[in-house]
Amino acid sequence: MQRNIICVACPMGCGMTVEVAENGEIISVKGNTCKRGDAYARTEITNPVRSLATTVKVDGGIYNVVPCKSAGALPKDKIMDCMEVINKAEAKAPVKLGDVLIENILGTGINIVATNHCPEK
C-alpha cells in the first residue's frame, strides 16, 4: 500500500510517497530531500503525533484565558480528548510563563504549560 503525505518537518514541504507493508512496516520513503523527512514519514505512518496550542480559562486574572501549549508532542488520536480536559480546566491567577497548568494530560506524560503571564486583577 502507498500513502502520499506532505512533510512538515521543515519549510520545504516535500511531497513524499511511503510504501507500507500489510503488517504496517515501512518498506520505503521517497520524495524527501532531507533525513528529517524520512523520520517524519515513518512517525506519521506508525505513530502520528501533534503539538497542541490553545488557551485555559483563568480565575481572578486580568485576562479570562491564558495561552498554553503541550510541552511535547501528543498522540494524534488523543488530541480531541485532550481538548475536552483543557476546556474543563481553570487556572488560578496569577499564572506565569512556563507554569504547568495540567500535569500528565490523559496519562501521556506530557504537561500543558502556560505560554504567557496572566497577573491577578
What would the pLDDT profile of 37-93 be if each residue is shown by its tens digit?
999 999 999 999 999 999 999 999 999 999 999 999 999 999 999 999 999 999 999
Is 39 in a helix, a strand, or coil? helix
Q: Which residue type, as a one-letter code, is found at position 55?
A: T
| pLDDT at residue 76 in the model | 96
CA distance 19 to 3: 7
pLDDT at 120: 97
Q: In the predicted model, what is the mean pLDDT of residues 5-14? A: 93
Class of domain 53-114: alpha beta
Q: State what percent of residues in the chain have pLDDT above 90.
A: 98
The cell for 14 is 516535500
Integer Cα distance of 1 and 26 in angstroms: 10
Domain extents for the chain? 2-47, 53-114
- What's the pTM? 0.84
Provide the terminal-to-terminal Cα distance of the chain, rounded to the nearest Å: 57
Largest CA distance in the chain: 58
